[in-house]
Amino acid sequence: MKAAVYYETGSPEVFCYEEVPDPSLGDAEVLVRVEAISVEGGDTLHRRGGEIARSPHIVGYQCAGTVIALGSAVEGICEGDRVVTVGLDGSHAELRSASPSFTWKIPDGLSTEEAACVPVAYGTAHDCLFEFGRLKAGETVLVQAGTSGVGIAAVQMADRAGAKVFATASRDDKLERLVELGLDEGINYAELDLVEEVRRLTSGRGVDLVVDTVGGPLLAASIRCLAYRGRCVSVGDAGREGGGLVDVGLMRPNNLTLVGYFLGAELFVDPRAHAMVAGVLDEVATGQVRVVIDRRFPLADAARAHAYIESRESFGRVLLVP
Q: 93-140 pLDDT, tens per residue?
A: 999 999 999 999 999 999 999 999 999 999 999 999 999 999 999 999
pLDDT of residue 206: 98
Q: Which of 81, 191, 205, 213 is nearest to 144 (CA)?
A: 213
Angle formed at CA 225 by CA 221 and CA 229, multiple of 5 degrees: 125
Domain boundaries, the chain: 2-117+291-321, 121-264
Q: 87-100 pLDDT, tens per residue?
A: 999 999 999 999 99
Q: What is the DSSP string of 25-44?
A: --TT-EEEEEEEEE--HHHH
Distance CA(109)–CA(90), nearest Å, equals: 27
Q: Where do the DSSP E strands lie in the chain?
A: 2-5, 16-19, 30-38, 62-70, 82-86, 95-98, 103-105, 140-143, 164-169, 185-188, 207-212, 226-234, 257-260, 293-298, 317-321
Residues of the chain predicted below pLDDT 70:
238-244
pLDDT of residue 216: 86
Superfamily per CATH, domain 121-264: NAD(P)-binding Rossmann-like Domain (3.40.50.720)
The whole-model pTM stands at: 0.94
Q: Are 123 and 263 in contact (CB under 8 A)?
A: yes
User: In terms of residues, how long is the chain?
Assistant: 322
194 to 164, 219, 272: CA distances (angstroms): 17, 11, 35
pLDDT of residue 217: 85
Residue 23 gets which letter from DSSP?
Answer: P
pLDDT of residue 64: 98
Burial of 183 (0-12, 13-18, 19+ CB in 10 A): buried
Distance CA(167)–CA(61), nearest Å, equals: 26
**For the domain bounded by 2-117+291-321, which CATH number is listed?**
3.90.180.10
